[in-house]
Structure 1
Amino acid sequence: MKKICALLAVSLFFFLVACSQEASEEEVIENVLNSHRDVNQYAANFNIDTSDVAKTISHNIEVNLTEDPAALHQILTIEADGEESSVNTYRVNDEIYTQEEDNPWGKREAEEDEPLFTPSYRDVVSVLENVIDYAEFDSEGGTYTFSYEGFEREIYEAFEGPFNILLGGSDIADEDMSLGFTFEVNKSDYYIENLEYNLSVENETGTVNINIQVNYDDINDINEIEVPDEAIEETS
């Protein structure tokens, strides 16, 4: 009986050790930077807030997409000065249907090499790859995180293109800017779950703050995207 109890205790010990082992930072980096290869579908929510001394403009984008074959449903909502407007978009292969507010649906053909959605999941992984050497890694909690606070021109440029960040004036000095980012990575499949990016600019001309939050869900688990009959009928 003692032998059986001892064997059970040893087995339990090794089970607990195995369960408590976390992937190393190098393993997490390798897996997350390769994660885009497995991603064909996802839902994403983008919140982008831009504020200065005069006003705040908020952009919210809800998107469901499948990369191959190309299909997308996107709702863009813009709020500024207390007023809100929205644009509803469907794309299946090269046919794009768009409705602004309660206006009739419009239809057009996608231009040659027109991207399905920007920034794509692959683009966001590329941003992480370009800034990961500056990031602090943390394996505590429910996700792996890569984060940074401070300012580096290389980090600013990594986010600038994919997220279309436009700051007026070309004379903004590095010392006038500060930024921070956090990437949260799922511990089981190494997909990026959340991203937050903050950029602040302050000098004698004023202050600008930009906050970007991205949440991914339903990776490779999206229902078929179909253009509504109403949109097809109105554009026939």
Structure 2
Amino acid sequence: MRKSIASYLILTLSICILLFVSVSSKETVIDLGKYSTKGIELCYTVSQDENIKDNVLASNEVNKAFSPYLGKSFVGFKEAIGFKESRGNYFIVNTFGYLGKYQFGKGTLRALGINNTDTFLKTPELQERAFIAYAQRNKWILRRDIKNFVGKRINGILITESGILAAAHLSGAGSVKKYLRSYGLDNFSDGYGTTIEHYMRKFAGYDTSFLKADRKAKAM
């Protein structure tokens, strides 16, 4: 009998404690009706431009933060290459004289219709156009190799169109042809030791269908 009474008292006490905790843990409701921003100078960090297009490229505007997850999109492709080449710096010249975000040589720029390197270095939009034009040229030059090798493996690396175009940006289309047609035996490396094979692996699987093969593509 005593055990039953003790059990009953413990149960009752436990219920009281649970009810107390439940009531006390409820958030206090705040009446916001009395609050107003009238007369306060507000500072917005989001642009109020309603005419922004969805397809604007990531690098069209310099010195503005842009950090969405770009995945394997074309914008992701070019931004990844830009970061690898220069950490995304439009205004840099490396120790070998390569210029800008995508590290173009003067000879390549002349082929793209750009003769004034000072203007090129100061104009991010021109650098973006140059990247696309050069990729279009390389896609035309390598069109047969893209058709013949995409989907195959060389030295364990899955060959993709984006990997081929990235490697062509690094070394030129001719060196990429030699690499593919030698099945990896002729593996060009640049002045810093970066190889075609490294770019093939690092930039594989991006969507470069946006690029149209164009033998005469120009940036100007």
More strand by share: 1
More helix by share: 2
Q: Please, what TM-score do these two structures have when normalized by structure 2?
A: 0.24
Q: Which has the higher contact order (CA 8 A, sep 6+)?
A: 1
Q: Please, what TM-score do these two structures have when normalized by structure 1?
A: 0.23
